[in-house]
Amino acid sequence: MKRSLFAALFALFAAGVSAQEAEYVVIVNAQNPISQLKREQASSLFMSRTAKWGHGPSGAAVDQSMTSKVRQAFSREVLGQPAEGVQNYWRKRMLEAREFPPPVKASDAEVIAAVAKEAGGIGYVAAATELPPTVKAVKIADPIR
């Protein structure tokens, strides 16, 4: 009985981890040569308006709404803090350095359109979102989980 209870709990935990891993996918412009990013690189592109890609273009990050579950997961796992912490960081940057946060889009479709439009575009969408050929998914090599 204890073994089957343990097995059932383990299966539930494993399913929860799989579901958590599948909450979002990071996307970039299809012309971008990368296929994987370290968390630190992705964070830099979202937390600095002056960050550049290694192959040249300036980063053009796009965020989702503060109420988006996708943004909550992305902020926690890639930026290393809750979305509210990221918002507070940008409030401070606006006051101190007149540096503005990435634009916020209301839907996955709007994020895709913005990323497709910019050579240095990067954003994130729900994992189940179908991606057009104008953008591609990239793997975050070391997300916080």
Which residues are bridge partners to 126 per DSSP? 24
Whether residue 54 lies inside any domain: the answer is yes
Whether residue 9 lies inside any domain: the answer is no
How far is CA 63 from each of CA 72, 103, 112, rounded to the nearest angstrom? Answer: 11, 6, 11
Question: CA-based Rg of the chain, rounded to a whole angstrom?
Answer: 17
Q: In total, how many domains does the chain have?
A: 1
Residue 12: its pLDDT value, please?
40
Residues 46, 53: contact at Cβ < 8 Å?
no
How large is the average pLDDT for residues 102-111? Answer: 97
Higher pLDDT, 41 or 4: 41
Residue 56: its pLDDT value, please?
85
How large is the average pLDDT for residues 121-140? Answer: 97
Domain extent for 104: 23-140
Share of the chain above pLDDT 70, in %: 85
Q: Is residue 16 predicted with pLDDT exceeding 50?
A: no
pLDDT in tens, 74-96: 999 999 999 999 999 999 999 99
Whether residue 8 lies inside any domain: the answer is no
Residue tagged 């070391």 (tokens):
142
Q: How far is it, in rounded angstroms, from Cα 3 to Cα 66?
A: 42
Which CATH number fits the domain that encloses residue 136? Answer: 3.40.190.10
Whether residue 58 lies inside any domain: the answer is yes
Q: Is residue 31 predicted with pLDDT exceeding 70?
A: yes
